[in-house]
Amino acid sequence: MSANFGLIVSRILEGLPTTVWATLGGIALTIVLSFAAGLGMLSRLAVVRWVSRFYVEIFRGTSEVVQLFWIFFALPLLVGFQLVPLFAGIVVLGLNHGAYGGEIVRGAVQSVPRAQHEGAIALNLSAANRMVRVILPQAVVEMIPPFNNLFIQLLKSSALLVFISAGEMTEISEQLRPTLGPDLVLVYTVVLVFYLLLAIVITVVMRQLERVGARRLGRVPRERRRVLSRGHAPDSAGGL
Amino acid sequence: MPSHGDHGANAETSSAAAQSDVMISFDNVDKSWGENHVLKKLNFHVKPAEKVSIIGPSGSGKTTILRILMTLENPDEGVVTVDGDELWNVERGRRIRRETKQMKLTRRKIGMVFQQFNLFPHLSALQNVMEAPVRVLGMSKDEAHERAKELLDMVGLGEHLNHKPPKLSGGQQQRVAIARAMAMRPKVMLFDEVTSALDPELVGDVLDVIRDLATSTDMTMLLVTHEMRFAEEISDRVVMFDNGVAVEQGPPHKIFKDPDNDRTRQFLRAVLEH
């Protein structure tokens, strides 16, 4: 192993907090925008539906990198000041992934059986109570697995912040390139491993939420299945 | 607007309409699903405290009557009133206005129990029963809790207050659903084939609860059912539906023992042979 391993890891660690903050901030904004857009697309008011749909299509249908450039380089020309790089990054990560999340929220809300709406109407719950007390608590559980995917994508997208010099991990690895030429394999492998570890953290948290959610709905959380178990799978006994 | 603040349950304090002898009225109510004409200019009236069973082959529009009353479907045309207050007033071709203020007020007088229970799976039995009194009637949590316990005791589920619906049997879930609907103290209660989804050995407990309600309360009850013996036992009146029309109605002994209409005879023969 290269003598520079310690140096590489310690430099990349310098970028870790920015990556983590950009990701957490982006996730927070994504959640807010996902619910706003997802519920907006289901609104009874055509204007609200239209605005929500417009937002989703714009931010899902244009390049995330260009969105970043737009907010960081173009917006200052219009408003006269420039956002702090980390903040601009969070805004773009949130806006972009919120557009995808809007579809997750919409789909999950629509997946709650009609019978649940009808049960709630029969109790004379108001439209707001029906959504907040009956539909959303069930829909949220369905949203967790797709949000897990989305959050991991957001984590990886945070590498785009290299373009606006926010000081996150990928940017640090770029800074190491001129001086550590011979060790580039190691440099980029270390960065990849850091992203992987962060993605695993996200997955562990989301899996836990999934279990809690399943239990709240009175479902038995699925047993951990060992896909790569040793020996024979029980159902292989019957042959092909 | 006539009745206001009527959580005083069965207290007969309200308007002139309450003294009239019509609790539910359908006047010229029409409903189609595409080609399928499920209600044909229906005129149908139910008296206060009357227990009416609706029987007939599936697809004959029985359930649609209940669903229109619960505002889960709209009529294409016609007027529906409950306890003197308008629930629907639809002219053909006019835009149908859902959830008007008037409708929401009138709807409070009605409760419904569904074939598939429709309990909220994320709430315990107790919370299922407490939810609407707290959110809709503005009852304090303590009071709602007390009432919910009493109601669940009454339906024989005093031991299962904190169970979530998926942990209960079908029969138990249906009894929670009845308690939940009762918690809103409706004047009119609708039962939509409430035993059809149950295993046979669980039907009895649910019917016992409904029988108790029928004999011990002055709620107006409308039941769509395939339990002919039960309908005969508890109903004041039985209505036979076929093809969107009430082909025959009368006291249960008449309908079940000596029907006039051929369709009624055929239908009863077909169901009772099983």
Given a cut of 70, whether residue B2 has pLDDT beyond it is no
Q: Confidence class of residue B61 from pLDDT cuts 50, 70 and 90?
A: confident
- Model pLDDT, residue B179: 97
- Model pLDDT, residue A223: 56
| Helix, coil or strand: residue A124 | coil
Question: B26-50, pLDDT tens digit by residue?
Answer: 999 999 988 889 999 999 999 999 9
Joined together, the tokens standing for residue B43 give 């005129």
- Model pLDDT, residue A220: 65
Mean pLDDT across B158-162: 93
User: Domain A5-221, what architecture?
Assistant: Orthogonal Bundle (1.10)
The Cα B123–Cα A121 span in angstroms is: 16
- Model pLDDT, residue A222: 57
Facing residue for A133 by CB, picked from B70, B117, B135: B135
| Percentage of chain B lying above the pLDDT 70 cut | 92
Higher-confidence residue of A225 and B63: namely B63
Task: Let me know: does A89 contact A22? Beta carbons within 8 Å.
Answer: yes
- Model pLDDT, residue B4: 45
- Model pLDDT, residue A124: 95
The Cα A136–Cα A157 span in angstroms is: 28
ipTM: 0.89
123-142 in A: which are within 8 Å (CB) of B? 123-127, 129, 133-134, 137-138
The Cα A153–Cα A165 span in angstroms is: 20
Q: Confidence class of residue B6 from pLDDT cuts 50, 70 and 90?
A: very low
Global confidence as pTM: 0.84
The Cα A89–Cα A157 span in angstroms is: 10
Give A129's contacts in chain B (Cβ within 8 Å): 135-136
* Chain B contact present for A115, CB below 8 A: yes
Domain ranges of chain A: 5-221
- Model pLDDT, residue A3: 75
Question: B170-186, pLDDT tens digit by residue?
Answer: 999 999 999 999 999 99
Joined together, the tokens standing for residue B197 give 């989804």
Joined together, the tokens standing for residue B4 give 């206001």
- Model pLDDT, residue A139: 96
Task: Let me know: does B162 contact B173? Beta carbons within 8 Å.
Answer: no
- Model pLDDT, residue B173: 96
> Is the Cα torsion angle B128, B133, B138, B143 positive or negative in sign?
negative
The Cα B148–Cα B36 span in angstroms is: 41
Contact B114 A119 (CB under 8 A): yes
Question: A94-140, pLDDT tens digit by residue?
Answer: 999 999 999 999 999 999 999 999 999 999 999 999 999 999 999 99
How near does any CA of chain A get to the CA of B57, in Å? 23
Calculate helix-pair angle for B125-135, B170-182, nearest 10 degrees. 20
Task: Let me know: does B227 contact B55? Beta carbons within 8 Å.
Answer: no
- Classify strands B85-90 and B36-46 as parallel, antiparallel or unpaired: unpaired
Query: What's chain B's average pLDDT?
Result: 90
Given a cut of 90, whether residue B153 has pLDDT beyond it is yes
Q: In one letter, which amino acid is B225?
A: T
Q: Confidence class of residue A228 from pLDDT cuts 50, 70 and 90?
A: low
Question: A57-100, pLDDT tens digit by residue?
Answer: 999 999 999 999 999 999 999 998 888 999 999 999 999 999 99
CA distances from A40 to A50, A56, A105 (A): 8, 11, 10
Contact B70 A121 (CB under 8 A): yes
